[in-house]
Amino acid sequence: MTENHETPAPTAGLKALDRLVGEWTVTGGAEGVVKYEWMEGGYFLLQTVELEQYGQRVSGVEIIGNLRPFGEPASADVHSRFYDSTGNTLDYTYELDGDKLTIWGGPKGSPAYFEGTFTDGDRVMAGDWVYPGGGGYESTMTRR
Protein backbone atom coordinates (compact mmCIF):
# COMPACT_ATOMS: atom_id res chain seq x y z
CA MET A 1 0.00 0.00 0.00
CA THR A 2 1.39 3.38 -1.02
CA GLU A 3 1.00 6.23 1.42
CA ASN A 4 -0.24 9.51 0.01
CA HIS A 5 0.29 12.45 2.33
CA GLU A 6 -1.19 15.02 -0.03
CA THR A 7 -4.32 16.67 1.29
CA PRO A 8 -6.96 17.03 -1.44
CA ALA A 9 -8.34 20.52 -2.06
CA PRO A 10 -11.84 21.38 -0.85
CA THR A 11 -14.46 20.31 -3.41
CA ALA A 12 -16.00 22.70 -5.93
CA GLY A 13 -19.44 22.06 -4.41
CA LEU A 14 -18.21 23.21 -1.02
CA LYS A 15 -16.24 26.18 -2.36
CA ALA A 16 -19.39 27.37 -4.18
CA LEU A 17 -20.97 28.02 -0.77
CA ASP A 18 -18.54 30.92 -0.32
CA ARG A 19 -21.49 33.04 -1.46
CA LEU A 20 -22.98 32.52 2.02
CA VAL A 21 -20.00 33.97 3.91
CA GLY A 22 -20.98 36.99 5.97
CA GLU A 23 -23.65 38.07 8.40
CA TRP A 24 -27.31 37.92 7.40
CA THR A 25 -30.60 39.21 8.84
CA VAL A 26 -33.28 36.50 8.61
CA THR A 27 -36.99 37.28 8.23
CA GLY A 28 -40.05 35.12 7.62
CA GLY A 29 -40.94 32.02 9.64
CA ALA A 30 -37.76 32.47 11.69
CA GLU A 31 -36.34 35.88 12.64
CA GLY A 32 -32.84 36.85 13.71
CA VAL A 33 -29.22 36.72 12.58
CA VAL A 34 -27.05 34.02 11.03
CA LYS A 35 -23.35 34.23 10.26
CA TYR A 36 -21.27 32.06 7.93
CA GLU A 37 -17.47 31.90 8.04
CA TRP A 38 -14.78 29.49 6.87
CA MET A 39 -12.86 27.42 9.35
CA GLU A 40 -9.12 27.65 8.80
CA GLY A 41 -8.11 25.49 5.82
CA GLY A 42 -11.37 26.08 3.90
CA TYR A 43 -12.73 22.54 4.38
CA PHE A 44 -15.64 23.53 6.64
CA LEU A 45 -18.10 26.39 6.56
CA LEU A 46 -19.36 27.33 10.03
CA GLN A 47 -22.78 28.85 10.57
CA THR A 48 -23.83 30.43 13.87
CA VAL A 49 -27.52 31.06 14.44
CA GLU A 50 -29.45 33.38 16.76
CA LEU A 51 -33.12 33.05 15.80
CA GLU A 52 -36.61 33.18 17.20
CA GLN A 53 -39.06 30.70 15.72
CA TYR A 54 -42.59 29.88 16.88
CA GLY A 55 -42.01 32.09 19.94
CA GLN A 56 -38.90 30.15 21.00
CA ARG A 57 -35.35 31.51 20.98
CA VAL A 58 -32.89 29.14 19.29
CA SER A 59 -29.14 29.53 19.06
CA GLY A 60 -26.90 27.03 17.38
CA VAL A 61 -23.93 26.14 15.27
CA GLU A 62 -23.75 24.23 12.00
CA ILE A 63 -20.65 22.64 10.48
CA ILE A 64 -20.90 22.29 6.69
CA GLY A 65 -18.47 20.28 4.56
CA ASN A 66 -17.79 17.08 2.66
CA LEU A 67 -17.60 13.84 4.62
CA ARG A 68 -14.09 12.36 4.52
CA PRO A 69 -13.69 9.81 7.29
CA PHE A 70 -10.30 8.30 8.06
CA GLY A 71 -8.46 9.17 4.84
CA GLU A 72 -11.23 8.17 2.44
CA PRO A 73 -12.03 10.37 -0.56
CA ALA A 74 -14.35 13.32 0.06
CA SER A 75 -18.06 12.63 -0.39
CA ALA A 76 -19.66 13.94 -3.57
CA ASP A 77 -22.38 15.72 -1.57
CA VAL A 78 -21.88 18.56 0.91
CA HIS A 79 -23.28 17.56 4.31
CA SER A 80 -23.81 19.34 7.59
CA ARG A 81 -24.79 18.81 11.18
CA PHE A 82 -26.58 21.51 13.15
CA TYR A 83 -26.46 21.60 16.97
CA ASP A 84 -28.90 23.88 18.80
CA SER A 85 -29.59 25.24 22.26
CA THR A 86 -32.61 22.96 22.69
CA GLY A 87 -30.53 19.78 22.26
CA ASN A 88 -31.34 18.99 18.62
CA THR A 89 -28.80 17.59 16.18
CA LEU A 90 -30.06 17.97 12.62
CA ASP A 91 -28.37 16.68 9.46
CA TYR A 92 -28.62 18.45 6.10
CA THR A 93 -27.30 18.15 2.54
CA TYR A 94 -26.44 21.31 0.56
CA GLU A 95 -26.43 21.88 -3.18
CA LEU A 96 -25.88 25.13 -5.06
CA ASP A 97 -26.87 25.07 -8.75
CA GLY A 98 -26.39 28.48 -10.35
CA ASP A 99 -28.26 30.91 -8.11
CA LYS A 100 -30.49 28.20 -6.58
CA LEU A 101 -29.57 26.83 -3.14
CA THR A 102 -31.25 23.64 -1.95
CA ILE A 103 -30.78 22.39 1.61
CA TRP A 104 -32.33 18.99 2.23
CA GLY A 105 -33.32 17.93 5.75
CA GLY A 106 -31.27 14.71 5.71
CA PRO A 107 -30.11 13.12 2.44
CA LYS A 108 -30.43 14.69 -1.01
CA GLY A 109 -33.98 14.23 -2.29
CA SER A 110 -35.58 14.37 1.17
CA PRO A 111 -39.21 15.60 1.28
CA ALA A 112 -38.10 18.24 3.85
CA TYR A 113 -36.00 20.94 2.20
CA PHE A 114 -35.27 24.61 1.69
CA GLU A 115 -35.11 26.01 -1.81
CA GLY A 116 -34.00 29.60 -2.29
CA THR A 117 -32.46 31.91 -4.85
CA PHE A 118 -29.64 34.43 -4.59
CA THR A 119 -30.63 37.85 -5.98
CA ASP A 120 -29.49 41.46 -5.83
CA GLY A 121 -25.81 40.65 -6.39
CA ASP A 122 -25.86 37.93 -3.69
CA ARG A 123 -27.22 40.41 -1.13
CA VAL A 124 -30.53 38.50 -0.75
CA MET A 125 -31.34 34.78 -0.44
CA ALA A 126 -35.11 34.19 -0.51
CA GLY A 127 -37.04 30.94 -0.58
CA ASP A 128 -39.19 28.48 1.28
CA TRP A 129 -38.75 25.65 3.76
CA VAL A 130 -41.03 22.78 2.70
CA TYR A 131 -42.09 20.04 5.10
CA PRO A 132 -43.52 16.59 4.24
CA GLY A 133 -47.32 16.49 4.43
CA GLY A 134 -47.59 20.26 3.97
CA GLY A 135 -46.35 23.14 6.01
CA GLY A 136 -43.15 25.07 6.02
CA TYR A 137 -42.50 28.78 5.82
CA GLU A 138 -40.98 31.57 3.76
CA SER A 139 -37.48 32.68 4.67
CA THR A 140 -35.43 35.62 3.44
CA MET A 141 -31.83 36.34 4.37
CA THR A 142 -30.45 39.82 3.67
CA ARG A 143 -26.73 40.46 3.91
CA ARG A 144 -25.87 43.00 6.63
DSSP characters for 71-92? GPPPPSSEEEEEEETTS-EEEE
Share of the chain above pLDDT 90, in %: 88
Environment class of 127 (CB within 10 Å of its CB; exposed 0-12, middle 13-18, buried 19+): buried
Distance CA 91, CA 107 (A): 8
pLDDT in tens, 84-133: 999 999 999 999 999 999 999 999 999 999 999 999 999 999 999 999 98
Q: Distance (Å, rounded) from C-alpha 68 to C-alpha 54?
A: 36
CA distance 120 to 142: 10
- Fold held by 12-143: Lipocalin (2.40.128)
Domain ranges of the chain: 12-143
pTM tops 0.85: yes
Confirm if 49 and 58 have CB atoms less than 8 A apart: yes
